[in-house]
Amino acid sequence: MMRRTLFMRRVRASAQMLVLVVITMVGVVACTHAGVTTSSSEEAMETVSGSVTYRERIALPPATVVTVRLEDVSLADAPAKVLAEQKIELSGQQVPIPYSLKVDSTQIDPRSRIVLRALIRSADGGLLFTNTTAELVEPGQDNTNRMLVLQHVGGRSGDGEAQASVQLLDTTWKLVKLGNVEVDPAASRMPSQITLAAGADAGMSGIAVCNRIIGSYTLDGEALHLRPGATTMMACVPGPLAEGEVLAALNATTGYRIDGSQLQLLDATGTVLATYVR
């Protein structure tokens, strides 16, 4: 009888030990799994950082807001997809302004075209500076210390050098504003643009939205008349710009004004139809 009792105690002890071992193993696996999940999530986050600046010797006004975005512009002439954004409210700070964006690389298609876009707006929301060329970002590469040099596209500079007139002719002008609609030339592979050639090759060429323009112009002092003429006939992807509106603005142009690095096309009443930057 004693032997049987001793045997049963040993069986119960072994069973309890087995239960403890199983519980311990489950806990270890769970902890390990949780640790791997956290680590993978952290490793998937990429940082894109650097600073925003511009070349003009212009002080930023109070309450200026700097916005930096990481955008997917893979679809030509379609609205960009914002992957990450940082808004920096300035209280007297001047350029360079540091920025830092974090994005989950697992959510980015390796075939995508990713760009950085930066804007500087005044307190009332007016656009002062933006980048007009595509700042490409390659996921998986070192994207720290990315300096974004912006163009002055709005407001008056107050600096003689910055206000120096740039050449109207033989310059590629990229559209940044049509009426009250702001346009990001860096978000498209084919930004809306015009070029007025001088000399023997005098004529107008460019891109309305997705179709190319070939036409002519007449220039007499500050009087400028544009005749877009022929265009290609591709179907454009729906976006913020309608091709007919761009062509209508060009056809309605009777004058122009150059302010710093921007070109404004004017109608007969002096209203700004469109704003371009070089």
What would the pLDDT profile of 83-141 be if each residue is shown by its tens digit? 999 999 999 899 999 999 999 888 888 888 888 989 898 888 877 888 777 788 988 88
Q: What residues does 181 pair with on adjacent strands?
A: 178
Name the nearest CA neighbour of 103 among 92, 112, 91, 94: 112
> For the chain, what's the residue count?
278
Q: What is the pLDDT of residue 178?
A: 94
DSSP letter at 200? G
Mean pLDDT within 177-190: 85
pTM of the entire predicted model: 0.54
Where does residue 18 rank: exposed (0-12), middle (13-18), buried (19+ CB within 10 A)?
exposed
Going by their DSSP bridges, the two strands 146-152 and 45-54 should be labelled as parallel
| 250: pLDDT strictly greater than 70 | yes
Task: Provide the token pair at 133.
Answer: 């060329």
C-alpha 241: how far from chain center: 16
Yes or no: say if 176 and 266 are a contact pair by the CB < 8 Å rule. Answer: no
C-alpha 247: how far from chain center: 25
The whole-angstrom separation of Cα 21 and Cα 26 is 9
Question: Where is average pLDDT lowest: 3-17, 130-144, 178-192, 197-211?
Answer: 3-17
Mean pLDDT within 161-166: 35
113-129 as b/e, with b when 16 or more CB fall inside 10 Å?
bbbbbbbbbbeeeebbb
